[in-house]
Structure 1
Amino acid sequence: MDTQFHSAPALASRRSLENDLDRLLDAAAEATAVFRAAVEAYLTAGSESACWSLAQRISTQMCTVDELQQRFATGTRDATFESGTRPGMIEPLNAVTGLLREMRRQITAFAVESGFSGDTREIPSYLVTDLQELSETVCAAVDELIEGCRPCMLLWGQPMCVGGDLGVSWYESQADRLSMQLIKQILADEALELKVRLHLAQVVEEVDRVADYAERVDTDLRAGRMAGLATRASRDSH
């Protein structure tokens, strides 16, 4: 009876933290959707007001992420579960929100440039489809990362896994391939002024960098997860 009495609050605490983490990751996924829309607006010469609206949306979304992250950190500060360990998610979540802040920086940069250049923004039509593919691939890497942080995979003792054969690293390698092809194509286009070519190459690198960041977070998270599982196995064996 005494064990049951103490397990009920622990279970409630665990479920509360799991719900908070799900809400935080849902907010991160929404921020990624805003990034998709911002890249699309930039590539298709969206209006200045639309670009600034997207910048405002991701800023608002980041406030939500920050609030939920603080709530999750507070909730895990004194939490212990059946294994006697605390969830090791604070550092990964810090890394994920760092990635989202990088997205916000880029969206704001798109909005600023839209304000300066408006409809005269020089993005050759033949590049738009490939840049859209790059954006989708980069966002797919972030989506995979976010799903890999779901509590059913990380908090309660299960190893990380991904759907099918694709994961963050696969999408990151695809993004690298696409960005290299785009940069070569851009720099070889002598019909464009040099400053335009350099700017377009920088845009490609900025978008691709999000996938690079996602892969670093994923690699660190997996390494930490494996170390935690090894420590737990060693403790359980004694």
Structure 2
Amino acid sequence: MQGQFRARLAVLALSLTATLALGGCRTVTSIVPASAMKVSIDIKDFHQGKTQVGIHFADGEGNTIEFVHGETITCDGVFLAYDSNLFASAVGYGAYTGEVPLQPAGGKYTLTFKPQGSGSAAGTPVTVAVAVVDAPVTISQPASGATVAIPTSSPLAVRYNVSGLPSTGIFGIVFDSRAHSASALTFNEPGSLSFKAEDFLKFAPGPGTVSISRGTGSTQGGSAYAELKVNYENITTEPITWQ
């Protein structure tokens, strides 16, 4: 369980690096109308337990927006909290994050931004619905629970099912029991992900995990935001044993 938790955090932090535009390097707290915001949403669907949601707000120059005037952000009624620790250390900005109940195939995640003010002075809420992308990942090699030789000269190949969805890439990460990791990324779906042997120099024999995230990106039009990008991730983590 601890290995799966580490894998989830790593996938959460590292995949956002590839999917959310950083632009500027400052955090601003001034009031920015929704029509001037660039918004990036990331949904992490583990097909069990809770779903992790992250939403990043930026102004026209790409600077991160932190709301301090009474604005709220919710997903399916769950309030999302501003997180500047995990994201600041990993990718250099803050985002609103939280865990919400898992939605089934055919369902959707509803995110609502409520501007500052109350009563008649309140701004108009902005609601976005993100449909579930039902494309679960199945790792065929190595099999769940398999014993895997730690690579020394040849790369490790991890094979998975291909979805055939457009604008879809693959991110993978493997761990040993001492939190050493190796990662790989492709911007398409070749059906196999290759991990370099030199990334396993510190790996130790024993329990480990392999995680694959299938990220499907889209740009949604017709919203009240200046720009709205969505990345939906189907994530699978399997236990293995290194030898």
- Tell me if both proteins adopt one fold, taking TM over 0.5 as the criterion: no
Larger Rg belongs to: 1
TM-score by length of 1: 0.23
The structure carrying a bigger strand percent of its residues is 2
The structure carrying a bigger helix percent of its residues is 1
